[in-house]
Structure 1
Amino acid sequence: IFDFGASNGRAIVAHFDGKKVTMDVTHWFEHGPVYVTETIYWDILHLFSELINGLQASLSKYPDVRSLAISTWGCDFGFIDERGKLVSNPVTYRDKNRHERSKLLYNVLPQRELFELSAGSTNEIMGIFQLFSFKCDNALELRSGRKMLMIPDLLNYFLTGRACNEYTNATMTLLCNQYERTWEEKILNRIGVSPSILNDLVMPGDRIGEIQASICEQFGIHPVPVIVPATHDTASAVAGIPVIDEGKHWAFISLGTWGIMGMQTDQPIISDQVFSSGYGNNAIPEGKNMMVKYITSLWIIQQCRNRWKNEHVKDLSWDEIVQASVQAKPSKTFIDVDNPIFGLPQADMPKVIQQDCQQRGQEVPESMGEIARCFYESLTLKFRYNLELLEEISGHHLELLHIVGGGTQNKTLCQWIADAKGIPVIAGPTETTSMGNFIMQLKADGEVKTLKEGREISLSSSSIHRYEPGNKSYWDNAYEKFLHLFPHNTK
């Protein structure tokens, strides 16, 4: 299993004994975007180098590995040229040009029409906005590029030599017709990009080849079969959720750099309410759909921590930050985490938070604990607001909330979310993406027949924690203040 997030990545060898899955992390590394010539890139060659390191570490310890699969964050892509060579490093979804060009895109393809054609959230992180930015600039990527490959597709291409696009991540470009599960040429024609840059769509669980001979010879490894999971990490995470009661109305939050929240549906849902709420649809395995919204989440406190580490304490732990937030007085100040200023890289995020509070006439948080509490409470209330929207869209009262991903390690935040929404939270595991990745490998190998069966394996293999709701009056009062402060969040 290769599970690459936006700030770190890992190689994991998983073993299934017929009942439970055990995992061994064989390689781990940090990485991040690179800012150069006023553009923010991903270092794709570094990622591939670490993938090879992970392969070597895994195969030296477990020589009988039967398959591998790669999942990464969505939205971003690179190009290969007519000779099959990499054109440039992929540009990240946080690059400002991508966001500045969104209004120009809507001049040729109105936002509502884009939603109708793609069924996806028109959040500016989606791949179409970067593609259109390249088109506006007559960029090298489009002039020399012959094949467009999402980050995991690109890594798979380096490994196998096969250029293809895995479907769940392809829906993150907004270039797909999600009802037909094909590329939507109407969208490409409107933005003036040739459909020839796109490749065959493959589905989670498909085998796309094996590690090519030149790679095996260069690095002293053997030709392991390559499977595509849901290469979009959130789609893999949803596949790996250890659902404790399929009979209840449940939603999920994948809690990490992004807070990706939503619910599973059988088909994409296109309606005025979905569009106006900022929700959209993306594919998950087995032909199913997730109706989701992308919320700037732990990225904000990660940026704060970077600043605090530089200013004060080099080894500042997350536990220290959370504890400081708990000890701080209950917050009287809130931010809207979806304000674009919080989604961009900031040299001094604590100051950005303070300035935003001051501009809105609020009491300004001063200490690390006060700033952290302001953020965590604001995020909690934003989740409550969007969960209530989800209930309105679906017509169902939520009975259960699954929280997965690295953010589940923050027990305080999980409890606050349960309290604020007033429903039980099932938190864990942290490695849900890896579990979903492995379930698709098991399916490709014939060990698992259905997604439901895979989730039952996830449940039997996972450590989960249940948080019961409480402290209702505190959160109801805070929510009332939050809605008054940010009236655009009122329904």
Structure 2
Amino acid sequence: MKQRFFAVDLGATSGRTILGSLSDKGLEMEEINRFPNRLIEVKGHFYWDIYVLYQNIVDGLKLAAQREVEITSIGIDTWGVDFVCVGEDGHILRQPYAYRDPQTIGAPEVFFSRVPRSRVYELTGIQVMNFNSLFQLDTLRRNNDSALAAAQKILFIPDALSYMLSDEMVTEYTIATTAQLVNAKTRKLEQELLTSIGLTEKNFGRFVYPGETIGSLSKYVQEQTGLGVIPIIAVAGHDTGSAVAAVPALNGNFAYLSSGTWSLMGIETDAPVVTTETEALNFTNEGGVEGTIRLLKNICGMWLLERCRSEWGGISYSELIRDAQASEPFRSFINPDDELFANPAYMEKTICAFCSTTGQPIPDNRARVVRCIFESLALRYRQVLENLCKLSSKPIEVLHVIGGGSRNDLLNQFTANATGKTVIAGPSEATAIGNVMVQAMAAGVSKNISEMRRQINASIPLTTFQPQDAEVWNQAYVKYRALLNDKSNIDLK
């Protein structure tokens, strides 16, 4: 009998539930429901609505039950770093802060006044970003946050949702690594850092790794959905971990680009790479499946365009891409990772201000803004990939682009042109596929990650992009690098 796996895949702007299965026909995926995930702004702070997310998951389970489909297991993946505080009575104490909340601006520097930056990186191997859970928790502690003060447990978002479904509290390894609280070598919570923010291991749930069983649907959720005792599996709870598990590579000589709201570019290694060079380059060592490490760099991705689209009334991607393709090339660039673009009030205005202050032509229409975003991302990808090539012990022969951005043919071609590497695009639903495949591995349907990737490669249509126009892209890269080195501070007031 065909086994079906229920995947919950939550991103920073939307979520979905999917039924996946493996058969002689290969991998089959069916979307059950899709829903928005909106930031809630209250008095200058940004929150996630954990209850709405839970209700949408329950709605998906109800729809699956109505189809009388037998579900083998359930797995949940989400974005990283954010968490909920759970009180002594087991209730969530308030809505979780979102990583784009401004309260952690400057937080790393405050923390490093007590624990040196180099020590934090030596222990964790994690890229320093102001919204990492370590700095969020330290900020809440310094602000005498009432929820943290009353918290008995701290649960990362996928673990919190698993708890709401099962009453079991766990800390899943891949999502925990994004917190900058896990020792890269021992792959356990690091007590030195916990002590520095007034916490202990007892403040977290049972530590689990991808493929382990968390628990099963609680009696209440069974009654609510009409389902039976279904196990909940710890997949790679961090969505990038699930996405990278679904890279359809046939050998290990590849880099990946998980392209969505964030772009995450990296390679897979068997052990953490924590050196003075990776620290200087601010590379991160996040946990993966089957004991692998994802040596990667976070790059601001389609967030830039998503914010512009919201300002433009939601104009279609296809129209924007078509107009950008016809627009003048290499007119102006931005640094996608400049803190200006983290969460500005007006993204288009911020892009124009960056270009104006750096002495470039202002992108004065939508097509030019989109062209500026895509070319800047492609050139940033080249910069990061060059560093990965130096760090990798294996040759990087191909760049796999996965996630929603793999459907963007123009950006994929720009990426091939800029990097000089063959780009293989797909699958677009990599995160959900990786979620399903880890569940399949736990059920014994798939043996290991290598077999899993061969199955995905054989099941999913892929598109290949070969590098073009090397000389003009090389010239553009020289201009881009000079711009980044010479950029002065920008005042948007």
Q: Same fold (TM over 0.5)?
A: yes
Query: 2:41 is paired with a residue of what secondary structure?
Result: strand
Q: Please tell me whether the aligned partners of residues 267 and 392 of structure 2 are also in contact (alpha carbons under 8 angstroms).
A: no
Q: Please tell me whether the aligned partners of residues 107 and 130 of structure 2 are also in contact (alpha carbons under 8 angstroms).
A: no
Q: Please tell me whether the aligned partners of residues 11 and 58 of structure 1 are also in contact (alpha carbons under 8 angstroms).
A: no
Counterpart CA distance in 2 for 1:198 and 1:210 is 19
Find the partner of 1:204 among 196, 210, 216. Answer: 210
Map of 1:452 onto structure 2? 450
Map of 1:3 onto structure 2? 9
Count of aligned residue pairs for this structure pair: 481
Q: 1:178: Cα distance to partner?
A: 2.1
Find the partner of 1:465 among 463, 479, 485. Answer: 463
Matched, 1:290 2:294: yes
Task: After TM superposition, list the pairs within 5 Å mapping 1:55-74 onto structure 2.
Answer: 55-74=61-80
Map of 1:246 onto structure 2? 251
Q: Please tell me whether the aligned partners of residues 181 and 193 of structure 2 are also in contact (alpha carbons under 8 angstroms).
A: yes
Q: Please tell me whether the aligned partners of residues 177 and 184 of structure 1 are also in contact (alpha carbons under 8 angstroms).
A: yes
Query: 1:300 is paired with a residue of what secondary structure?
Result: helix
Matched letter for residue 353 of structure 1: I
Map of 2:221 onto structure 1? 215
Q: Please tell me whether the aligned partners of residues 19 and 460 of structure 1 are also in contact (alpha carbons under 8 angstroms).
A: no
Q: Percent identity?
A: 33
Q: 1:483: Cα distance to partner?
A: 0.8
Map of 1:233 onto structure 2? 239
Task: After TM superposition, list the pairs within 5 Å mapping 1:278-427 onto structure 2.
Answer: 278-309=282-313, 315-344=314-343, 346-394=344-392, 396-427=394-425
Query: 2:72 is paired with a residue of what secondary structure?
Result: coil
Task: After TM superposition, list the pairs within 5 Å mapping 1:28-177 onto structure 2.
Answer: 28-177=34-183
Q: Please tell me whether the aligned partners of residues 258 and 296 of structure 1 are also in contact (alpha carbons under 8 angstroms).
A: yes
Q: 1:10: Cα distance to partner?
A: 0.7
Q: 1:488: Cα distance to partner?
A: 7.6
Map of 2:491 onto structure 1? none
Residue-by-residue CA offset, 1:423-453 (whole Å, 9 max, x unaligned): 1001001011111111111111111221111
Counterpart CA distance in 2 for 1:488 and 1:114 is 30
Matched letter for residue 188 of structure 2: T
Q: Please tell me whether the aligned partners of residues 61 and 225 of structure 2 are also in contact (alpha carbons under 8 angstroms).
A: no
Residue-by-residue CA offset, 1:301-321 (whole Å, 9 max, x unaligned): 111111111xxxxx5100111
Q: Please tell me whether the aligned partners of residues 269 and 293 of structure 2 are also in contact (alpha carbons under 8 angstroms).
A: yes
Counterpart CA distance in 2 for 1:450 and 1:473 is 42
Q: 1:79: Cα distance to partner?
A: 1.1
Q: 1:85: Cα distance to partner?
A: 0.4
Counterpart CA distance in 2 for 1:23 and 1:427 is 18
Map of 2:276 onto structure 1? 272
Q: 1:263: Cα distance to partner?
A: 0.1
Q: 1:6: Cα distance to partner?
A: 0.8
Residue-by-residue CA offset, 1:178-219 (whole Å, 9 max, x unaligned): 211211001111233333212221011111111000122234
Query: 1:222 is paired with a residue of what secondary structure?
Result: coil
Decide whether aligned partners of structure 1 residues 184 and 158 sit closer, same or farther in structure 2, where only a CA change above 3 A counts: same
TM-score by length of 2: 0.95
Residue-by-residue CA offset, 1:248-272 (whole Å, 9 max, x unaligned): x210000000000100000000101
Decide whether aligned partners of structure 1 residues 67 and 488 sit closer, same or farther in structure 2, where only a CA change above 3 A counts: farther
Q: Please tell me whether the aligned partners of residues 120 and 174 of structure 1 are also in contact (alpha carbons under 8 angstroms).
A: yes
Counterpart CA distance in 2 for 1:202 and 1:42 is 24
Counterpart CA distance in 2 for 1:132 and 1:193 is 10
Matched letter for residue 81 of structure 1: G
Find the partner of 1:189 among 195, 210, 226. Answer: 195
Q: Please tell me whether the aligned partners of residues 260 and 405 of structure 2 are also in contact (alpha carbons under 8 angstroms).
A: yes
Counterpart CA distance in 2 for 1:288 and 1:194 is 26
Residue-by-residue CA offset, 1:290-346 (whole Å, 9 max, x unaligned): 10110111101111111111xxxxx510011111111111132111011001011x3
Structure 2: give runs of 5+ residues left out of the alignment.
Answer: 1-6, 488-493
Q: Please tell me whether the aligned partners of residues 259 and 404 of structure 2 are also in contact (alpha carbons under 8 angstroms).
A: yes
Residue-by-residue CA offset, 1:138-181 (whole Å, 9 max, x unaligned): 10121111100000000000000000111000101111112112
Q: 1:110: Cα distance to partner?
A: 1.7
Matched letter for residue 149 of structure 1: L
Higher mean displacement: 87-96 or 119-128: 119-128
Query: 1:438 is paired with a residue of what secondary structure?
Result: helix
Q: 1:62: Cα distance to partner?
A: 4.3
Matched letter for residue 291 of structure 2: G
Matched letter for residue 316 of structure 1: I
Map of 1:312 onto structure 2? none
Counterpart CA distance in 2 for 1:195 and 1:386 is 35
Query: 1:86 is paired with a residue of what secondary structure?
Result: coil
Matched letter for residue 83 of structure 2: F
Counterpart CA distance in 2 for 1:395 and 1:162 is 40
Map of 2:3 onto structure 1? none
Matched letter for residue 329 of structure 2: P
Decide whether aligned partners of structure 1 residues 62 and 467 sit closer, same or farther in structure 2, where only a CA change above 3 A counts: farther
Q: Please tell me whether the aligned partners of residues 250 and 402 of structure 1 are also in contact (alpha carbons under 8 angstroms).
A: yes
Q: 1:65: Cα distance to partner?
A: 1.1
Map of 2:490 onto structure 1? none
Decide whether aligned partners of structure 1 residues 197 and 445 sit closer, same or farther in structure 2, where only a CA change above 3 A counts: same
Counterpart CA distance in 2 for 1:447 and 1:395 is 32
TM-score by length of 1: 0.96
Q: Please tell me whether the aligned partners of residues 71 and 230 of structure 2 are also in contact (alpha carbons under 8 angstroms).
A: yes
Query: 2:85 is paired with a residue of what secondary structure?
Result: strand
Higher mean displacement: 455-464 or 406-415: 455-464
**Aligned residues: CA RMSD:** 1.4
Higher mean displacement: 249-258 or 325-334: 325-334
Counterpart CA distance in 2 for 1:19 and 1:269 is 39
Q: Please tell me whether the aligned partners of residues 76 and 90 of structure 1 are also in contact (alpha carbons under 8 angstroms).
A: yes
Q: Please tell me whether the aligned partners of residues 19 and 29 of structure 2 are also in contact (alpha carbons under 8 angstroms).
A: yes
Structure 1: give runs of 5+ residues left out of the alignment.
Answer: 310-314
Matched letter for residue 26 of structure 2: K
Matched letter for residue 458 of structure 1: I
